[in-house]
Amino acid sequence: MSQDIYARMRETVLDALRTLAPDLPDDIAARVEVTPTRDPAHGDMATNAALVSAKAARQAPAKIAAGLVAALSLRPEVAEAAAAGPGFVNLRLDPAAFRDLLPGILLAGEQYGDSPLGRGARVNVEYVSANPTGPMHIGHCRGAVVGDALANLLAKAGFDVTKEYYINDAGNQVAALAWATYWRYLQAVGTSLTEDEYAAQVPGGLQYRGDYLIPPAQELLRLHGDSLAGPGKGIAPVEQWLDLVRDFTIDAMMRQVRDDLALLGVNQAVFSSERALVATGVVDRVIAGLEADGLIYQGVLEPPKGKTPDDWEPREQTLFRATQFGDDVDRPLRKSDGSNTYFANDIAYHADKVLRGFPTLIDVWGADHGGYVSRMKSAVKAVSGGKATLDIVLCQIVHIMRGGEPVRMSKRAGTFVTLRDLLEEVGRDAVRFTMLTRKSDAQMEFDLDQAVAQTRENPVFYVQYAHARCRSVLRSAANSFPAQALTPAELATVSLDSLTAEADLVLMRRLASWPRTVEAAAIAREPHRIAFFLYDLAADFHMLWNRGRDDAELRFIQADRPAETLARLALVAATAATIRSGLAVMGVTPVEEMR
């Protein structure tokens, strides 16, 4: 039986509805929902069943609602059913129906909220995929956290999830990186060239000037002495060093990326290399497949609508028929020198993911790749014959703020805030939680002061404080009742009849909505909803806690009334378990006490 009391009631409602309207089409039945009421005055839950089925049943909504009220009133768990508004049926449950959820929550522990929704279907979530050309910075951080939490969320919702990172280690960018490392190497061996003189000889100019390439250059010096340098410590012919330096630098950068990600608590299982896809012929095979399907042609694109660049001229290119799959224009696959565009390799990469057996692909991208969404989706349709789907989660820009002012400079990298700086300043938990307190497709301000503040403004603190309070209560109870076992398994067996206060019910209703929150967030690919759920749950708990301030009889621990105390401890332990369940999705540590 489902953990989800709303899902169970939905089945009950559907049974009753089918009695009233035997020929109800399935697509109408699918629209029936049972949701928590926004206003407690309307009861515990409400259903739209009468409204959505009225047309198909050829009956007035009010009439169906009346029939549902009559049928549902007979159910033992329903204390009151009433028609309301244009045809809603409001249900007030016997409080025991909510109390009865607690044992299941206690026994499930962190697994509470796990859902069979995904039925074990495989999903590939690709995120971060920062180019290995430098330290991870703040621009990568949001995508890393959102992707990781989304992957955790989908796993909780019953999908078989693979977390993946795509290494863009092919193309001009990594060649430029090699030239930059080589400059640091020449400096290390004592070149007489100035940086400007060197830059003038680099194809495309010297693109990466950060200090972070000095350590790999030092390592090259240690391994190879000055053998990679040219006569007079100038530039040697590229055949003598470029491949070596490039591969060496990529390895060094990727080690750093993995280290940074590990600090953030992100550990992808699969790292796919663009170079490997090229080297093993995957790219050629995929392109050949598209060619065989007639999806590639030589053609000339129209200039961009409305804006013709000054240097625009008609040019014949190798194009992919993206427009056949919903894109606005066809997209180029080859550069004029005959090499593949990034898009061509990316098609192959996604085709590879499909071949590896993923019917659902999710990419988490930065907002600057927004213009890429429709072409990639069209490519996935093309290479999978429409059998695989690609969802793309775009993460908008994060502005780091301190004291109300934007923060731009980094002590290390000079031009951007590195991930490491951010982690050192506010810590992993605050970074992860805060990054999930906004919808990913909205821009966000990350307030450094707020992220470390120990007040209600700071959701990280507020939620962790609620968990710490739960644990504190359970520790105190162990002292007050040394003879009583207080394990979840024990608490799952105690009588809960004394949990009758409105604040108890508010909290239990919140706990009851956790499974549906997980499913809805997973379907919408919106991990931020978990953060908001936890914040609301924490507020409910803090409220309950504070009732004990006004009335000592409402405190959790009553030494002279063990039965009531155990019931309350069960509620507290269930709350703690649910918080841990949610924090696990977010990758945030539940703390035992605040210090």
Partner RNA sequence: GCGCCCUUAGCUCAGUCGGAUAGAGCAACAGCCUUCUAAGCUGUGGGUCGGUGGUUCGAAUCCACCAGGGCGCGCCA
Q: Tell me the closest approach of the beta carbon of residue 98 to RNA, in angstroms.
A: 17
Q: For residue 411, give the amino acid letter.
A: K
- Indicate the length of the chain as a whole number: 595
Q: Which residues contact 349 (CB under 8 A, 6 or more apart)?
A: 166, 272, 274, 277
H/E stretch holding 282 reads: helix 282-292
Sheet holding 444-447, edge to edge: 405-406, 398-402, 444-447
Question: Do 358 and 124 meet the contact criterion of CB atoms below 8 Å apart?
Answer: yes
Whichever of 224 and 555 has its CB closer to RNA, that residue is: 555
Nearer to RNA by Cβ, of 325 and 535: the residue is 535
Q: In Å, how far are 169, 177, 239 from 246, measured between CA atoms?
A: 9, 7, 12
Angular region, 414: left φ>0, alpha ψ -120 to 50, beta rest: left
CA proximity to 35, closest of 5, 2, 71, 70 = 5
Q: Which is nearer to RNA, 237 or 404 (CB)?
A: 404
Give me the least distance between CB of 111 and RNA, in Å please. Answer: 21
Here the tokens at position 554 are: 């409402």
3-state class (DSSP) for residue 507: helix
| Minimum CB distance to RNA, residue 186 (Å) | 24
Least Cβ distance, residue 262 to RNA (angstroms): 23
CB of 296 to RNA, least distance (A): 14
Count of beta carbons in the 10 Å neighbourhood of residue 397: 13
CA distances from 404 to 339, 401, 420, 495 (A): 47, 6, 22, 52
Measured from the CB atom, is 186 or 252 closer to RNA? Answer: 252
* Gap between the Cα atoms of 523 and 517, Å rounded: 10
CA distance 511 to 75: 23
CB of 61 to RNA, least distance (A): 7
Nearer to RNA, 233 or 335 (CB): 335
- Taking the least distance from each CB to RNA, the nearer of 180 and 186 is 180
Smallest distance, RNA to C-beta of residue 173, A:
4
Least Cβ distance, residue 57 to RNA (angstroms): 13
* Residue whose CB is less far from RNA, 75 or 334: 334
Phi, psi of 283 (to 5 degrees): -60, -50
**Closer by beta carbon to RNA, 315 or else 402:** 315
CB 531, min distance to RNA, A: 9
Measured from the CB atom, the residue of 80 and 226 that comes closer to RNA is 80
